[in-house]
Amino acid sequence: MKKRKGIKKREMVVLAIGVIFIVFGVAALINTIIQGNPTQILWICYSSLILLGIGILMRNSLLVVSQLNIITIPLLIWTADFIFFIINKQSFFGIVNYFFMPGPILSKIITTQHLFTIPLALIAVYIIKVKTKYAWIVSLAQVSFLFLITIMLTAPVNNINCVYSSCVNFNFKHHQVMWFVITFTIICCTNLVLSQIKALKNKF
């Protein structure tokens, strides 16, 4: 009986996390349209949030890990910059300044997903037992596709997905080449680290 209750509780946790991600992802897309910025629906974090939620609800390891490969390090950097701002009243990387400027409250609520996405996702991953080794391939294909779509459909002034210039307060030569180098490195490193976590190691 206790075992059944434990299983049911874990299933409810997974369901709740999946729903939270989808709700925040869909809300983000709707909000960009309401704010008159439809091209912002192309931000990688929005699609990844929805796909992460779907993957969790479907217990699809490939989908879940592929999204974690993409967003884990960027969200951790965002969170670090947020904490730095709270402590020092200024941004270290120049990423979170927009959050502390006057703006729609709904946008700020949606943006808070940067703070809780990774912890909740890792809880879900621990429960659903990840089994895939090839998520990094899906991740690379996804970001390559979104890069091309972003270049084709958006203007440099919007800098969606940071494809035209750096989103942090320093720039690189040959930015778009470096975009791929950095993004691919992030994906591969994240996939490697996740595969080495003891709680998940024998599931990869």
Domain definitions of the chain by residue range:
2-201
How close are the terminal C-alpha atoms of the chain, in Å? 30
Phi, psi of 101 (to 5 degrees): -95, 155
**Rounded CA separation 202/87 (Å):** 39
71, 74, 77, 81 alpha-carbon torsion, rounded to 10°: -110
Per-residue confidence (pLDDT) for residue 202, from 0 to 100: 45
Phi, psi of 60 (to 5 degrees): -95, 100
**Rounded CA separation 23/69 (Å):** 21
**Rounded CA separation 180/187 (Å):** 10
Per-residue confidence (pLDDT) for residue 194, from 0 to 100: 86
pLDDT digits (tens, 9 = 90+) for 138-180: 999 999 999 999 999 998 988 899 999 888 777 777 888 999 9
- Mean pLDDT calculated for residue range 109-121: 93
Q: Which of 98, 112, 105 is nearest to 49 (CA)?
A: 112
pLDDT digits (tens, 9 = 90+) for 81-102: 999 999 998 888 888 888 888 8
* Amino acid making up residue 197: I
Give the number of residues written for the chain: 204
Reported pTM: 0.89
**Rounded CA separation 56/74 (Å):** 20
Q: Which of 11, 79, 16 is nearest to 45 (CA)?
A: 79
CA 69, distance to chain mean position in Å, is 9
